[in-house]
Structure 1
Amino acid sequence: MDKKIENLEILSGKVLLFGGVYSNLQALEALIAVAKAEGIPPENCICTGDIVGYCAQPEETIQTFKKWKAQSIVGNVEIQLREEATDCGCDFKKGSTCDGYSQLWYPYAQSKLSKSSLEFIATLPDHIQFNYAGKKVTVLHGSYFNVSEFIFKSTPWGRKQSNFEATKSEVIIAGHCGLPFQDEKDTKLWLNPGVIGMPANDGKPTVWYAILDDKNNELTFKHHTLNYNYKLANSLMINGILPEAYANTIISGIWDNTEILPAFESSLQGLDLIL
């Protein structure tokens, strides 16, 4: 199927970047408040996909996002939902713990979404592109070639380089892996702002986003932590259906397992992120 790429032409001013809302309405509401406080308009707020996911309020989250009028691409979860698939398409190893959990949260999310929300999901592009401070930027989920590909800080540069070449971009904004990081080489920048729906395995309940700035016509960025009502998000997830392990992560900041992580990222569990 041909990719749907939305070209925003030129963006200027601060740009708010985030991913993985994961049906966490409380985190989304807190992020919207940040955008307003920073004076960042909705058209300059961009999500790397997976608005729907592990948490308790998929319908409310989609409707709040839709009302906000921020930008988003599809994550693998949105693709699976719009195609009425029976699994989340996260590329978890079959039989793994994460795969088992997905058989709980994905049907739950699927059962909660209204026709209006599914119609909204169907409008989301595969990628977003824009020019910013003289650089071409592409927003993708996993990789340009595979929406479910896990790319981390430790992932060999060659796998990242092919994405820059395919998109003819100098900056790539990516999601999916759940951890914020930046990787720079030869004037190219791979930036993952992190996700707001789940902590980053650093032992803290806060979550992550990033802000681009073009002051003096130079692209700069900064990672930020987001405080939100994680206790409410946790309590809503304890409903006898969703995995309690994910509800516990909301509080503890520690992932139940590190199956998807390379050895380097796995070794950082519970440690402060240095970004």
Structure 2
Amino acid sequence: MDKKIEHLKLKGKVLIFGGAYSNYQALTTLKQIADAQNIAPENCISTGDLVGYCAQPEETVQLFKSWGARGISGNVEIQLREGAENCGCDFREGSRCDGFSQLWYPYAQSKLSKDSLEFMETLPDHFSFNYGGKNIMILHGSYFQVSEFIFKSTAWKKKLPNFIETKADVIVGGHCGLPFYHEKDDKLWINAGVIGMPANDGTPRVWYLILDEKNGSLSFKHHHYDYDYKTASAFMQNGLLPQEYARTLVTGLWDNCEILPPVESGLQGYGINL
């Protein structure tokens, strides 16, 4: 595979998050959290999809760029910089998610500056680094398909080839929108969760991940936070974006569970237990 993989050297706490989804308010609060914890910008990593469902794609990309955080390409960045006609999210044709993407994706295209698109061109496909004695790979969907949905309930036999191909001990992924971890045979798959939309748990809070090194070994912990979701939702009341997503910011419930396996679908409205 012709991949752009950037190899990092990181020391100190590492903050990882996914899916800002054009949610400027959520990204602003996360930057404040990182600053308050003295986490260096270069130790703050996005798993992709800076742009998405919400109302401020240009402001979100420019904030991320000025912050100096690192990021990989999600399917949305790839599609936008290539001038594609759809988001490449791998939604089922004719589904509600597919229909909604025909609103938010062209909206985002119309708002992004040349500078933002050129910035997306600089983003690698993956990051890799050694940390806490583990080889860690950052990816979006899977190593083989940027828009592949990988959940906690996804069979290990589907996850395992990613470890074999990348020689990673730990994979931190994005795309699916839900925080989780799955450990087996001394391998660990983590999803940091996303900050642009709630985790379908009935609360407006959003999620990120902290990696740390303690006594030379890796530790990790998911965290959630509150932000000004009412303003983010209000900005979406512009007649151009799906109002169902604007409501989700407030209710914490996804409009539908089309992309979810039965296990994750059945947990809608329940608290995330990590």
TM-score class normalised by the smaller sequence: over 0.9
Taking the aligned partners of 2:178 and 2:138, their CA distance within structure 1 comes to 16
User: Where do 5+ consecutive residues of structure 1 fail to align?
Assistant: none
Corresponding position of 2:31 = 32
Deviation at 1:50, TM superposition (A): 0.1
**Deviation, structure 1 residue 218:** 1.2
Taking only the aligned residue pairs, the percentage that are identical comes to 67
What SS does structure 2 have at the residue aligned with 1:214?
strand
Determine the structure 2 residue equivalent to 1:147: 146
Aligned partners of 2:226, 2:215: CA distance in 1, in Å? 30
Per-residue displacement from partner, 1:102-131 (whole Å, max 9, x unpaired)? 000000000000000000000000001111
Unaligned runs of 5+ in 2: none
What's the CA shift string for 1:73-110, capped at 9, x where partnerless?
00000000011000000000000000000000000000
Q: Which amino acid aligns with 2:212?
A: D
1:155-170 alignment, distance < 5 Å: 155-170=154-169
Secondary structure, in 3 states, of the residue corresponding to 1:225? strand
Partner Cα distance (1:230, 1:7) in 2 = 35
- Give secondary structure in 1 for the equivalent of 2:215: helix
| Secondary structure in 1 matching 2:198 | coil
Secondary structure (helix, strand or coil) at the match of 1:79 reads helix
> Helix, strand or coil for the counterpart of 2:207?
strand
Q: Secondary structure at the match of 1:30?
A: helix
Alignment match, 2:117: 118
Is 2:71 aligned against 1:72? yes
Amino acid at match of 1:153: K
**Aligned-CA RMSD value:** 0.7
TM-score normalised by the chain length of structure 1:
0.99
| Whole-angstrom distance in 1 between the partners of 2:271 and 2:4 | 37
CA displacement, residues 124-174 of structure 1 (integer Å, 9 cap, x when unaligned): 000011110111100000000000000000000011110000100000010
Query: Matches of 1:171 and 1:11 in 2, distance apart?
Result: 15
What SS does structure 1 have at the residue aligned with 2:190?
strand
The answer as to 2:205 corresponding to 1:206 is yes
> Residue type matched to 2:143 in 1?
Y
Q: Which amino acid aligns with 1:273?
A: I
Question: Retained in 2: the 8 A contact 1:12–1:133?
Answer: no
Q: Which residue of 1 aligns with 2:7?
A: 7
Cα offset for 1:3? Answer: 1.1
Following TM superposition, the consecutive aligned residue runs of length 4 or more in structure 1 with deviations greater than 4 angstroms are none
Q: Which residue of 2 aligns with 1:16?
A: 15
Counterpart of 1:97 in structure 2: which amino acid? Answer: R
Rounded to whole Å, the distance in 2 between the matches of 1:210 and 1:138 is 14
What does 1:168-183 align with in structure 2 at a 5 Å threshold?
168-183=167-182
* Partners of 1:227 and 1:182 in 2: CA distance: 22
Could you say what secondary structure the match of 2:6 adopts? strand
Kindly state the Cα deviation for residue 13 of structure 1 after the two structures are TM-superposed: 1.1
> What letter matches 2:223 in structure 1?
H
Q: Distance in 1 between matches of 2:31 and 2:225?
A: 11
Report the secondary structure of 1:195's partner residue. Answer: coil
Q: For the residues of structure 2 that align with 1:36 and 1:222, how far apart are their CA atoms?
A: 18
